A and B are shown apart, each in its own frame.
Chain A
Amino acid sequence: MRAQTALVIGCFVTSLAVDAAADGPEVDDTTKLFADGVHALEQERPNEAVASFEALADRGVIDAVVSYDRGLAYALRVRANAEQSGDLGRAAHGFEEARDLSSDARLTSDADVALTAVRGEVGRRKAREGVPTDVEQRATPWRSLAHALGENTWAAFAITASMILAAALFLRWLAVGSRARAGAAIAIAVSAPLLVLSAALARSARHDRLWLHEAVVVRASVHPSDAHGIVLPQALPLPEAARVEVVEQNAGLTEVRWGTLDCWVPTNALRPLAKP
């Protein structure tokens, strides 16, 4: 009986060990790739670092630090005189992604610094070519406002304004005293527009969160074209490392919005930004 019990326990432990071994490589794989990438970066071997971080991206790893280090790897390759076409754009992509994904203010700040350096280099090169370009286009005031406080904040404002508006309406309706009625009227006048504004901003922020797709230009120079791929003669090329809004995708072409420019560019000239 004791032998049978020992056998059953042994089988159970073995099966657990087999399960653990089966799960192990999946975990180790990304951990090892990250460690290899960091080690290669420390050793100033950018190609190996790029390979490791890109392998992580291929495996669907979405991580602010991985994106940030990937950006550093591409930047290091540029610095090591081994630059390949699009490296500055890929570096900017890594930093942009890190900035979007990170919850760490210091990492975000470092990504900002790195991004400024990369875009500065792109701007210098463009200036050397005689095509001065502002690589970074500002978002519209509405979008800036929507993202300034965050979606939940605007939602909380909207709820609060809604409550105040309702209370003021009741007060205005039921109160007898002139002071109370005047106070209620003021509250209505303030809370009603605030409700509309904050609800609209919350909705806009939600729409962007769900439907806005952005990408970074990862090619040295991308000529804008129409939906049929015919280059627009008047439009200036999109600079490398520019962050663009993806509107629509077609066979081999993607419609993007960059500042006031709305055009089509080759899909492989863009690298989409991951979302948290």
Chain B
Amino acid sequence: MSRLAASFSAFLVAIAFVLFALPARAATPRLRTTLSAETIEVGDSAVLTLSVTPGDQVTEAQMTGMPSGLSIVGQSMSPAYQVTVDATGQMTQVVSQRVQFRIRGNREGTYTIGPPSVTNDGKRVTGDRVALKVVAKGTLPPQQVNPFDPFNMFGRNPFGIDEPLQQQQVLEPNYPIDPKLSLDRAPTSAGTFLHAVVDKGQVVVGEQVTLSIYVYADVTQSDPELQDPHEPGTSDFLRQSLLKNDQNIERSGFARVGGKVFAVALLRKYALFPLHAGELEITPMRLRVTRLGERASETIKVRVTEPPIDHRPAGYTMGDVGHFTVTAEVAPREVERGGAVAVTVELSGWGNLPTSLTVPARPGVTWLDPEVKEDLHLLDLHGDVSGARDVWGGSRRFSYVVSPTKEGDIDLGEIVVAFYDPRTHAYDTTRAVLGTIHVKPRALPVTENAKLLANMPQLRSQRGDTRAGEAYVDDSNVFWGLLGVPSALFAVAVAGRRFVRRVAESARERKTSPLAELKQRQRALATAVEANDGRTIDGASIRVLEAAATAHVGVNVRGVGGEAVASVLEREGVEPDTAAELRDLLEACAAARFSPDGVELDGARERASHVRALVDRLESGPQSARPSSGGGG
């Protein structure tokens, strides 16, 4: 990580060069001499660069003072143009000239080179001397992308000038924008962010998905020092790195993101092979950017399905996706019983190569576990083999020891590998025939394993003994209803019978009650009043009074004569006036009814009216059963 941090420190310096290049308006040119490497190996070369600003009058370049252990193997001179606007809005075009000498180291030693010089406007101007150390071949670590300059800002200097642009605005920066890296908008507002991308969103189990994670750094901001990286979560995938060294940051170019220019570097590139079907998640890669806090790449979901079931060959193992070829060697072909035969199987191709093979097992032949060696790597960057970039593949070599335990000619069978080719969306198989070996006799005891599971029953060669889907009576709600219905019927019958009995009893009781009789007699009185028969009216009035006494006072006054009626009623709590009135009405009605002169109709109706009023008072209870006129007495 320290290298990573150092690389971004260097990047900061580079950004500073970009931003603060001085305007080249001075009369005398400014020169800067740089060397691409301070130390090289014998046979390698370094580039010495002399930048002249302004350089529009430069006509010639020379290198003097070249030591005998070094030689110039190339020289070039190229102009760079820049349009700038100062604070007042005035436009200025600045031309700088860059002269480069490629110097090869022929012998070990430390050399002083130069100074380089150019002819500018007819005058010779010289740069600075530089020191170059040449060491023996193999002394330096393998040359990689400069880890201190992941975005190559040191060497790039897109404006071709070395001085800062004080208070000037760049009108048309000449960054080589890569449209493939450009984005519509940045995921974060601050200058540095991570961006993860996969080449496919939907694959089958075992098909390669290439995950690339880039870091984007705003070229106008500074100090994107990266620390504490956390790898993306890919637990549902088999992961293989497609970069030679994950510790190095690989410069990818420049991109335009939301109108701004970003330097882009490739942090990680993985070949991912899904282990199962489903919507699999790749969790973000995280790292810390100094002063900007934590940055994380996007969460990516990949939809993974199983390869089609149609035409899937027998023996296909889920995840074997790609294109493979299998070859095999068997040696020796003749061996004693119990001896060893070496069977070497090489599986090569691209994709998710199987980690194990299904060997053609036979009774009498023992296959020991193989020794596996593999050579898997990034196959072809330009799609020559598989039609796609960044393809993982190579070969796996399985070395088996096979021991025959029976004599005679034994056919070892063949190794068959079935795979699904995502390019053609079809299954295919590759096979290697192992051929026959001859096993000579040898005195060896029969192993105990020969008795293992020896007495198994016979195989069946005809299908069709499977139970059909049965119908179950308890799947129907009718069944559960039937369980309860008989008992419920009994309960209903019992309850119904009780209900009927109760209703009948109630009706009977209602029919024989004093109140019911009173109402019946009141109806008879009303009928009699309408019939215009005085005797009938008086007879009905007497019966109403008797029924009222029974119903409301609980006293049967029938047969009780004269004064006794009043006293009986009074004993039961009836007001004396009411009792007397009832007695008087009874006597009046009886007298009129049995009068030899007949009954006067109006008198009978009036008595009937009094009877009704008295019954109403009795109905209200003993306390209120008082004549309205004599309430106070």
Chain A positions near chain B (C-beta within 8 angstroms): 33-34, 36-38, 41-42, 44-48, 51-52, 54-55, 58-59, 62-66, 68-69, 72, 75-82, 101-104, 107, 110-111, 113-114, 117-118, 121, 151-152, 155-156, 158-159, 162-163, 165-167, 169-170, 173, 195, 199, 202-203, 206, 209, 276
Given contacts A64-B465, A64-B467, A121-B452, contact A110 B458 (CB under 8 A): yes
Contact A103 B467 (CB under 8 A): yes
Least Cβ distance of B608 to chain A in Å? Answer: 55
The stretch that binds A, out of B176-184, B257-265, B357-365, is B357-365
Task: Tell yes or no: B109 within 8 A of A by CB.
Answer: no
Least Cβ distance of A264 to chain B in Å? Answer: 19
- B331-360: CB near A (< 8 Å → 1, else 0) gives 000000000000000000000000000111
Contact B486 A162 (CB under 8 A): yes
Name the CB-closest residue of A to B367. Answer: A82
Interface pairs A-B: 6 shortest CB-CB:
A166-B486, A82-B361, A51-B315, A110-B457, A104-B465, A55-B314
Given contacts A54-B314, A81-B449, A107-B465, contact A195 B458 (CB under 8 A): no
Distance of A75 Cα from B457 Cα, bound (Å): 11
Task: Tell yes or no: B464 within 8 A of A by CB.
Answer: yes
Least Cβ distance of A104 to chain B in Å? Answer: 4
Name the CB-closest residue of A to B488. Answer: A166
Distance of A117 Cα from B312 Cα, bound (Å): 33
Task: Tell yes or no: B309 within 8 A of A by CB.
Answer: yes
Distance of A41 Cα from B367 Cα, bound (Å): 19
Task: Return the contact of B483 from the options A34, A44, A114, A199 (Cβ within 8 A).
Answer: A199
Contact A203 B453 (CB under 8 A): no
Contact A202 B474 (CB under 8 A): yes
Task: Tell yes or no: B489 within 8 A of A by CB.
Answer: yes
A68 proximity list for chain B (CB < 8 A): 459-460
Least Cβ distance of B63 to chain A in Å? Answer: 67
Contact A65 B314 (CB under 8 A): no
Least Cβ distance of B378 to chain A in Å? Answer: 30
Least Cβ distance of A86 to chain B in Å? Answer: 13
Distance of A202 Cα from B474 Cα, bound (Å): 7
Name the CB-closest residue of B to A118. Answer: B453
A173 proximity list for chain B (CB < 8 A): 490, 493-494
Contact A152 B472 (CB under 8 A): yes
Least Cβ distance of B139 to chain A in Å? Answer: 50
Least Cβ distance of B60 to chain A in Å? Answer: 73
Chain B positions near chain A (C-beta within 8 angstroms): 309, 312-316, 358-367, 405, 413, 449, 452-470, 472-475, 479, 482-487, 489-490, 493-494
Least Cβ distance of B328 to chain A in Å? Answer: 15
Contact A45 B459 (CB under 8 A): no
Name the CB-closest residue of A to B313. Answer: A55
A38 proximity list for chain B (CB < 8 A): 459, 461
A111 proximity list for chain B (CB < 8 A): 457
Contact B362 A80 (CB under 8 A): yes
A80 proximity list for chain B (CB < 8 A): 361-365
Given contacts A38-B459, A41-B459, A114-B456, contact A81 B366 (CB under 8 A): yes
B466, B468, B485, B489, most chain A CB atoms within 10 A:
B466
Given contacts A38-B459, A68-B460, A79-B363, contact A166 B487 (CB under 8 A): yes
Contact A36 B360 (CB under 8 A): no
Contact A155 B487 (CB under 8 A): no
Contact B486 A165 (CB under 8 A): yes
B361 proximity list for chain A (CB < 8 A): 45-47, 77, 80-82
Name the CB-closest residue of B to A124. Answer: B452
Is chain B's interface secondary structure helix, strand, loop, or mixed overall? loop
Given contacts A82-B361, A167-B486, contact A34 B463 (CB under 8 A): yes
Contact A162 B466 (CB under 8 A): no
Given contacts A44-B363, A48-B360, A102-B467, contact A72 B459 (CB under 8 A): yes
Can you sample 29 A-B contacts with CB below 8 Å?
A44-B362, A45-B361, A45-B362, A52-B314, A55-B315, A55-B316, A65-B460, A65-B463, A65-B465, A69-B460, A72-B456, A75-B456, A80-B361, A81-B405, A103-B465, A103-B466, A110-B458, A111-B457, A113-B456, A117-B455, A158-B483, A159-B479, A162-B486, A165-B487, A166-B485, A166-B489, A170-B490, A173-B490, A206-B472
Distance of A45 Cα from B449 Cα, bound (Å): 17
Name the CB-closest residue of B to A154. Answer: B474
Given contacts A65-B462, A101-B467, A209-B472, contact A155 B479 (CB under 8 A): yes
Distance of A65 Cα from B467 Cα, bound (Å): 11
Task: Return the contact of B360 from the options A45, A170, A199 (Cβ within 8 A).
Answer: A45
A206 proximity list for chain B (CB < 8 A): 472, 474-475
Contact A51 B362 (CB under 8 A): no
Distance of A82 Cα from B361 Cα, bound (Å): 6
Distance of A82 Cα from B459 Cα, bound (Å): 19
Contact B459 A48 (CB under 8 A): no
Least Cβ distance of A204 to chain B in Å? Answer: 11
Least Cβ distance of B279 to chain A in Å? Answer: 13
Contact B359 A47 (CB under 8 A): yes
B460 proximity list for chain A (CB < 8 A): 65, 68-69, 107
B482 proximity list for chain A (CB < 8 A): 159, 162
Distance of A112 Cα from B473 Cα, bound (Å): 29
Least Cβ distance of B306 to chain A in Å? Answer: 9
Name the CB-closest residue of A to B366. Answer: A81
B486 proximity list for chain A (CB < 8 A): 162-163, 165-167
Contact B360 A79 (CB under 8 A): no
Contact B314 A152 (CB under 8 A): no
B489 proximity list for chain A (CB < 8 A): 166
Contact B459 A69 (CB under 8 A): yes
Least Cβ distance of A184 to chain B in Å? Answer: 11
14 more CB-based (< 8 A) A-B contacts, given A45-B413, A166-B490, A167-B486 = A45-B360, A51-B314, A55-B314, A69-B459, A80-B362, A151-B474, A155-B473, A162-B486, A166-B486, A166-B489, A169-B487, A173-B490, A173-B493, A195-B483
Given contacts A48-B315, A82-B359, A117-B456, contact A63 B474 (CB under 8 A): no
B309, B452, B460, B475, most chain A CB atoms within 10 A:
B460
Contact B472 A113 (CB under 8 A): no
Least Cβ distance of B36 to chain A in Å? Answer: 53
Task: Return the contact of B312 from the options A55, A79, A121 (Cβ within 8 A).
Answer: A55
A113 proximity list for chain B (CB < 8 A): 456-457
Contact B457 A169 (CB under 8 A): no
Given contacts A51-B315, A79-B363, A159-B482, contact A152 B473 (CB under 8 A): yes
Distance of A37 Cα from B314 Cα, bound (Å): 10
Name the CB-closest residue of A to B403. Answer: A81
Contact B465 A102 (CB under 8 A): yes
B309 proximity list for chain A (CB < 8 A): 58-59
Contact A162 B457 (CB under 8 A): no
A107 proximity list for chain B (CB < 8 A): 460, 465
Distance of A42 Cα from B493 Cα, bound (Å): 70
Distance of A216 Cα from B209 Cα, bound (Å): 34
B467 proximity list for chain A (CB < 8 A): 64, 101-103, 276
Task: Return the contact of A276 from the options B463, B468, B494 (Cβ within 8 A).
Answer: B468
Distance of A203 Cα from B479 Cα, bound (Å): 11
Task: Return the contact of B466 from the options A34, A63, A78, A158 (Cβ within 8 A).
Answer: A63
A102 proximity list for chain B (CB < 8 A): 465-467
Task: Return the contact of B453 from the options A41, A62, A75 (Cβ within 8 A).
Answer: A75
Distance of A55 Cα from B475 Cα, bound (Å): 34
Contact A36 B487 (CB under 8 A): no
Contact B452 A78 (CB under 8 A): yes
Name the CB-closest residue of B to A91. Answer: B453
B464 proximity list for chain A (CB < 8 A): 63, 65
Contact B312 A58 (CB under 8 A): yes
Distance of A158 Cα from B533 Cα, bound (Å): 76
Task: Return the contact of B472 from the options A45, A64, A151, A162 (Cβ within 8 A).
Answer: A151
B362, B472, B486, most chain A CB atoms within 10 A:
B486
Name the CB-closest residue of A to B471. Answer: A152
Distance of A110 Cα from B56 Cα, bound (Å): 98
Contact B313 A42 (CB under 8 A): no
Name the CB-closest residue of B to A198. Answer: B483
Distance of A41 Cα from B461 Cα, bound (Å): 10
